[in-house]
Amino acid sequence: MPQSMDHMLSEEHQALVGAVRDFTREVVAPVSATHDEAHSFPYEVVSQMAGMGLFGLPFPEEHGGQGGDYFALCLALEELAKVDQSVAITLEAGVSLGAMPIYRFGTPEQKERWLPELTRGERLAGFGLTESEAGSDAGGTRTRAVLEDGEWVIDGTKEFITNSGTDITSLVTVTAVTGERTLGDGSVKKEISTILVPTDTPGFTAEPAYDKVGWNASDTHPLTLRNVRVPEENLLGERGRGYANFLGILDEGRIAIAALATGAAQGCVDESVRYAQERETFGAPIGSNQAISFKIARMQARAHSARLAYYDAAARMLAGKPFKTEAAIAKLIAGEAAMDNARDATQVFGGYGFINEFVVARHYRDSKILEVGEGTTEVQLMLIARSLGLD
């Protein structure tokens, strides 16, 4: 992070940034290219992140957490994503999509059962929302759950679920249609609820992992649920509030994703500055050429703007103020900054920018999903326009 932003951080947050930055340089960076090439999940890195307490950053100590806040998580994500977006998204999804729904909406018994191992990073959880017919239109969920003899019987499929098939994944929270109700105008509305499904439940299958363009070291699977039976008390939150609760989780998650995208954008700047100072053509560093220096300057402006946007959204969230629009703005700005900076960084690197062992090449492949996942760019624009009264 540029020194000019340090004044906005507490001493505790500055110490966290320094620790994660050192960890990223010393532990994550040396193995990133290897895991990316092999499409292998970095268990040893995740284990060390767990030892640092990163998975418990925004959770209270009574649940095994560090007693920090959501902004601390965002700062850690930014640092990790500068070097390895796969590692960063593993942490982001493990916290904001895996453990956070249980913390926000779980019963005392559910929190006691699941949170300690999730916040300590010993286990991971996924959030099973997306389906082939239900992505941006999450209300199109087709997975169904029927209550029979004190058990939820679940049938359906899910797509693109992060952290759903690792050796340390303990559960996936799935959205399912649990009924229907007739509205005053005679129309019928689906009742969507969320249910905790342990991954060792018979009928739950994490299908073979996707062959992705990027985020190759993160874990992403389609899921199949066939006659999956879990206890009635595995309902997470109020019945019929699953969709509404999920939207709240996504609002928070967009701030975290914006932090991750900011890290990717800044990582491209840092690598480009280093290369532009070292690489010489015609007897001078390429950074002495205005075409290169101006390109990198514009990249820094994007990263700085993205950081300010997610800082603002996080501050509003922690102050208990409305932040939905600001989270959408942060996600929009940061996602585009990451993709634009990755494109420009590969141009600065020339042929080396097309070689996968270089960080900027991985950022070029990884960053596109930041304009799609956890709410597409178009969804963010829709939310922003709606806040302006432009339905």
- The neighbouring-strand residues paired with 188 are 182
Tell the residue number behind the tokens 């965002």, with chain if given: 74
- The neighbouring-strand residues paired with 148 are 151
Tell the residue number behind the tokens 């969709």, with chain if given: 243
Q: What CA–CA distance (Å, rounded) separates 26 from 22?
A: 6
Considering 11, 232, 374, 378, which one is annotated as catalytic?
A: 374
Q: What CA–CA distance (Å, rounded) separates 297 from 391?
A: 37
What six digits make up the tokens of 368? 């596109």
Tell me whether residue 278 is one of the annotated catalytic residues: no
Q: Are 123 and 168 in contact (CB under 8 A)?
A: yes
- How far lies 71's CA from each of 3, 96, 117, 232, in Å? 18, 12, 22, 35
Residue whose C-alpha is closest to residue 128's, from 225, 34, 57: 225
Q: Are 262 and 334 in contact (CB under 8 A)?
A: yes
Query: Mind telling me the catalytic residues?
Result: 374
